[in-house]
């Protein structure tokens, strides 16, 4: 009899990773669960709270599999938290979940799993790995409403060969049905929120950053350069933001169309001023050969896709809202990731 492959399952304490472990057990893998301790500060959301570790351990006990906790707190601070703060300091909007995947889940944990003799690593992400003629590719999950391929766009061939996403072919409803059928601790647990180290309480992001960053007070100016308001923290403003600019006028609402931390200014304009025909980009990366035809382009984790061409910049087929500098832009063709870039300042 062939020996079962050893697979390490990253268990965040949520229903998705719980069911991923259960599915792999049923498929005959030798399953071990692991929960990563990433954040040492206060947290009431995401996958960083003490209760999440407890939930993961309870599910592992229910499934009768070993469970470990790996402390990657220092790496998380270095590769996720510090860059998050640094990005705000220069007026960019970061993607901490993407950087956690890049540096922690699919680098540090990936290498730890290999060093411990595991054949494979699995997570509860809603995404699929597709074998195509030119190699393995990240593909959208069966449940497009829960799809997480956007935050996995950086995975390379070596990683994809050793990864499994057991629930990528399931709807969220089916995942919960499986969890309930097994009476898993996490069956009815709510989905986690983005930015696990930021509290959901009012002012959570600002309070977090104020402890780590000297905020810059500044001016809100209109498109002619005339001051129309003052603002306490330029670093807290994101492109497209409407509330918190200190500008009155419900009939003609103002939106942040530019943020300049160095000059301590936020430029406010009309909704029409938010739209552009092209988006400048950096760190352009293709999965395989470059494709300069029309692709479907996504600019946020839960956003829609829009048709555009890529030629050292994103050229939208129709005017598109400005993308906040620092955001990842991911290109799709037939629901498969074919490339990515980072939005730059206009």
Catalytically active residues are 100, 196
Classify residue 177 by burial, with Cβ atoms within 10 Å: 0-12, 13-18, 19+: middle
Quote the CA–CA distance of 346 and 343 in Å, as a whole number.
9
Sign of the four-CA dihedral 154, 187, 41, 203: positive
> In angstroms, what is the C-alpha Rg of the chain?
22
Q: Are 308 and 330 a contacting pair, CB within 8 Å?
A: no
Cα dist. 106→119, 121, 154, 198 in Å? 14, 9, 9, 22
Structure tokens at 288: 């395989």
Residue 130 to residue 139: CA distance in whole angstroms: 6
Helices (H) and strands (E) in the chain, counts: 9, 17
CB 194 within 8 A of CB 97: yes
Lookup: tokens for 13: 């304490």
Q: d(Cα 127, Cα 141) in Å, to the nearest integer?
A: 4
Distance in angstroms (rounded) separating the CA atoms of residues 25 and 51: 24
| Helix 172-181 vs helix 15-26: crossing angle, to nearest 10 | 70
Question: What is the three-class DSSP state of 56?
Answer: helix
Classify burial at 129, counting beta carbons within 10 Å of its beta carbon; exposed 0-12, middle 13-18, buried 19 or more. middle
């Amino acid at each position: 009899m062939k020996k079962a492959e050893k697979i390490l399952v990253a268990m965040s304490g949520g229903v998705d990773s719980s069911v991923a472990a259960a599915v792999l057990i049923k498929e005959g893998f030798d399953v071990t669960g692991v929960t990563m301790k990433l954040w040492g500060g206060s947290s009431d959301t995401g996958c960083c709270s003490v209760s999440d570790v407890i939930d993961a351990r309870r599910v592992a006990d229910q499934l009768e599999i070993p469970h470990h906790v790996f402390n990657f707190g220092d790496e998380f601070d270095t590769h996720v938290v510090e860059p998050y703060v640094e990005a705000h300091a220069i007026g960019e909007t970061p993607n901490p979940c993407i950087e956690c995947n890049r540096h922690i889940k699919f680098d540090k944990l990936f290498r730890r799993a290999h060093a411990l003799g595991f054949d494979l690593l699995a997570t509860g992400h809603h995404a699929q790995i597709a074998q195509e003629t030119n190699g393995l590719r990240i593909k959208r999950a069966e449940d497009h409403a829960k799809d997480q391929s956007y935050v996995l766009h950086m995975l390379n061939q070596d990683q994809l060969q050793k990864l499994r996403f057991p629930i990528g072919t399931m709807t969220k409803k089916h995942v919960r049905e499986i969890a309930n059928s097994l009476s898993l601790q996490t069956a009815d647990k709510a989905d986690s929120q983005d930015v696990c180290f930021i509290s959901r309480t009012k002012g959570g992001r600002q309070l977090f950053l104020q402890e780590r960053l000297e905020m810059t007070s500044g001016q809100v100016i209109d498109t002619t350069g005339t001051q129309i308001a003052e603002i306490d923290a330029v670093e807290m403003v994101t492109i497209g933001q409407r509330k918190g600019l200190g500008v009155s006028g419900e009939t003609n609402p103002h939106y942040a169309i530019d943020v300049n931390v160095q000059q301590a200014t936020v430029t406010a304009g009309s909704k029409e001023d938010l739209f552009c025909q092209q988006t400048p980009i950096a760190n352009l990366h293709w999965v395989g050969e470059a494709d300069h035809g029309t692709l479907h382009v996504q600019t946020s984790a839960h956003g829609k896709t829009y048709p555009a061409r890529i030629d050292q910049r994103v050229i939208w087929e129709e005017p598109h809202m400005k993308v906040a500098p620092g955001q990842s832009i991911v290109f799709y063709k037939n629901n498969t990731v074919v490339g990515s870039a980072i939005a730059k300042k206009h």
